[in-house]
A and B are shown apart, each in its own frame.
Chain A
Amino acid sequence: MEGALTAVPGRALRGSRCSRCEVAVYPADPACPSCSGPSAPVSLSATGTVWTWTVQRYAPKSPPYAAPEDGFRPFVVGYVELPEGVRILAVLHGVRPEDVRIGMPVTITTGDGVPSARLADPAGVTT
């Protein structure tokens, strides 16, 4: 999966969209999982809403989990729904477990690891 999780300029998520049935997928896939037709790469929207979420309250087993050097802390994880009609699994940073809500607007980016989401402020600027 060469480059499947790597960033394009602007750190937007790189997915793909089927030219026939308009289905968008992430990570990019040369074939549409719905109709098997050809798909073209596309940069996905950087903003969306929380579709569902949970809190990882215990440290997952290592390996494969690599805990931070200063130790495990519970983190929020969820699926972020983008306007393209895809829901992306992401770690939600800077959101306290007691504050996270379904429908909450977030921005989503990717870097070296899995996609990460942050609270979007009303102006759409990352907090």
Chain B
Amino acid sequence: MRDVADTSAVDDVDDASDGYDPAAGDGGAADVLVCGVGITPFGRSQATGMQLAVEAVNEALADAGLPWSRVRAAFGGSDAAGNADTLVTRLGLTGVPFVNVRNGCATGGSALVSAVNAIRAGAADVALAVGFDKHPRGAFDPRPADWGLDEAYGSEGLMVTTQFFAMKIQRYMYDHGITPRTLALVAEKAYANGGRNPYAWRREPLDADEILASGMVNDPLTRYMFCSPGQGAVALVLCNREVARGLGGGTAPVALRAAVVRTRRFGSFEVFSPWAPGGTPTSVSTDAARAAFEETGIGPDDIDVCQLQDTESGAEVMHMAECGFCEHGEQERLIASGATAIGGALPVNTDGGCIANGEPIGASGLRQVHEIVQQLRGRAGERQVPGDPRTGFTHVYGAPGVSACTVLTR
């Protein structure tokens, strides 16, 4: 076993003792800061997932103004592009503890929670969270056995994620009066925002009529209402307040006030379920969002900009209400009025979301956080939310009933 090149981490832990005070009453969450962010272009290229991850990590370190040797704990993962800890070969063999995370759509969120906890616990003063992925073309093709299901669900064509999202929004539209045009408007906004994001995959504008006419995939969802599996990588460097004070740079650090992962409770309606209980479904997204808000003491009404999982446009509609940003059914009016556009009262998925960026599973959750950090720093370029946003929220949802949410403030 080789020696750790730099043992100053031990001193740093002692020095960090003034950072987290459990008696402070706010849970100490404000003491975790995002000091560096890095992202690669999303879409498709010849690069491997790991190459993208290295690019994102190096960009995040440069953004923070910290060398790789200062990272005291690292957490990362991909769903289909390899083990994150092997990145040390490229990043440098510093001996840093590097934990692989594989948690479906919550991979990035779970890596982030782990990094946050490492800092809160005083185990690290600088921590890395990295998520990356690279998927083949076409819909995901999960194996029934991985989800505890009989092979017949696969052979008869029911192991299809797009089917589930279609059935969930189909019932939601029936219960809450949402129209197909609203679904098209969500996608129209996604492509419009993607056009303002140099890292987005889908940057060509499409209007609602084109989206409605793009061909039914799973009723009521048409082709251009869906995201596609793709590739991309995002890295975030977190630190405690003491490290942040020592960093130069012209940007105020963004505080990661809460990072929460939840799994489903009884009564939810989930992808890959042979059955679901009756009654009004519970929502793991509601649980995770509520926990994140409770941890910070601020609520949905206080949020200036948010990122909600939009693997298809119905998901964005439902997650607006599930995360507490509106009542069920209100989306019909809000979306038509432009409330969720960049200049609206609650901008949603300002970077184009999954619909414009594609879905590299391991990277999506951290892409959302990256976007909020840039918005709160005032560095979002053409897609900058006006009015100097100070608070942001992110949300991912995935199989088999997992959600990760964050609250960030400046």
**Given A1-B150, A60-B139, A64-B143, is A113 in contact with B274 using a C-beta cutoff of 8 Å?**
no
Alpha-carbon distance A27/B170, docked complex (angstroms): 24
Chain A residues near B277 (CB-CB < 8 A): 23, 25, 34, 85-87
Closest to B216 in A: A57
**Given A64-B141, A102-B171, is A27 in contact with B166 using a C-beta cutoff of 8 Å?**
no
Q: Is A106 an interface residue (CB 8 A)?
A: no
Minimum CB–CB distance from B161 to chain A (whole Å) comes to 10
Alpha-carbon distance A87/B159, docked complex (angstroms): 17
Minimum CB–CB distance from B110 to chain A (whole Å) comes to 23
Q: Give B113-135 as 1s and 0s: 1 = Cβ < 8 Å from A's Cβ atoms.
A: 00000000000000000000000
A114 near B279 (CB under 8 angstroms)? Answer: no
Chain B residues near A85 (CB-CB < 8 A): 277-279
B278 near A86 (CB under 8 angstroms)? Answer: yes
Minimum CB–CB distance from A112 to chain B (whole Å) comes to 7
**Given A1-B150, A65-B157, A102-B171, is A54 in contact with B276 using a C-beta cutoff of 8 Å?**
no
Q: Give B128-168 as 1s and 0s: 1 = Cβ < 8 Å from A's Cβ atoms.
A: 00000000001101011000101111111111100100111
Q: Give A74-95 as 1s and 0s: 1 = Cβ < 8 Å from B's Cβ atoms.
A: 0101110100011111010000
Size category of the binding interface on chain B: 35 or more
Q: Which of A52, A55, A56 contacts B168 (CB 8 A)?
A: A52
Chain B residues near A15 (CB-CB < 8 A): 275
B157 near A60 (CB under 8 angstroms)? Answer: yes
Minimum CB–CB distance from A63 to chain B (whole Å) comes to 7
Q: Is A41 an interface residue (CB 8 A)?
A: no
Minimum CB–CB distance from A50 to chain B (whole Å) comes to 10
Q: Is B51 an interface residue (CB 8 A)?
A: no
B278 near A114 (CB under 8 angstroms)? Answer: no
B170 near A60 (CB under 8 angstroms)? Answer: no
Chain B residues near A1 (CB-CB < 8 A): 148, 150
Chain A residues near B160 (CB-CB < 8 A): 56, 60
Closest to B151 in A: A64
Closest to B149 in A: A1
Most chain B C-beta atoms within 10 Å of own C-beta, residue among A66, A75, A77: A77
Instruction: List the count of A-B residue pairs having beta carbons below 8 Å apart.
Output: 120
Closest to B171 in A: A52
Closest to B265 in A: A34
Chain A residues near B158 (CB-CB < 8 A): 77, 89, 91, 114
Closest to A34 in B: B266
Alpha-carbon distance A53/B219, docked complex (angstroms): 8
Q: Which of B139, B150, B163 contacts A5 (CB 8 A)?
A: B150
**Given A66-B155, A114-B158, is A88 in contact with B275 using a C-beta cutoff of 8 Å?**
yes
A26 near B274 (CB under 8 angstroms)? Answer: yes
A87 near B150 (CB under 8 angstroms)? Answer: no
Quick one: which of B239-281 are within 8 Å of A by CB?
266-267, 269, 273-279
Q: Is B4 an interface residue (CB 8 A)?
A: no
B139 near A25 (CB under 8 angstroms)? Answer: no
Q: Is B91 an interface residue (CB 8 A)?
A: no
Alpha-carbon distance A114/B141, docked complex (angstroms): 18
B159 near A97 (CB under 8 angstroms)? Answer: no
Alpha-carbon distance A51/B276, docked complex (angstroms): 11
Quick one: which of A23-39 are within 8 Å of B by CB?
23, 25-27, 33-34
Q: Is B217 an interface residue (CB 8 A)?
A: yes
Minimum CB–CB distance from B168 to chain A (whole Å) comes to 7
Chain A residues near B269 (CB-CB < 8 A): 87
Chain B residues near A114 (CB-CB < 8 A): 150, 152-153, 156, 158, 274
16 contacts between A and B (CB under 8 A): A25-B275, A27-B274, A34-B267, A54-B167, A54-B170, A60-B159, A61-B141, A63-B141, A64-B141, A64-B143, A64-B155, A75-B157, A81-B278, A87-B277, A97-B219, A102-B171
**Can you list the 9 inter-chain pairs with the closest CB atoms, starting with the nearest?**
A64-B154, A52-B171, A85-B278, A61-B141, A54-B166, A113-B152, A66-B155, A26-B275, A60-B157
Q: A64-B144, A113-B155 are in contact. List 9 more A-B contacts (CB 8 A).
A: A15-B275, A25-B277, A26-B275, A34-B277, A54-B163, A63-B154, A102-B170, A113-B152, A113-B156
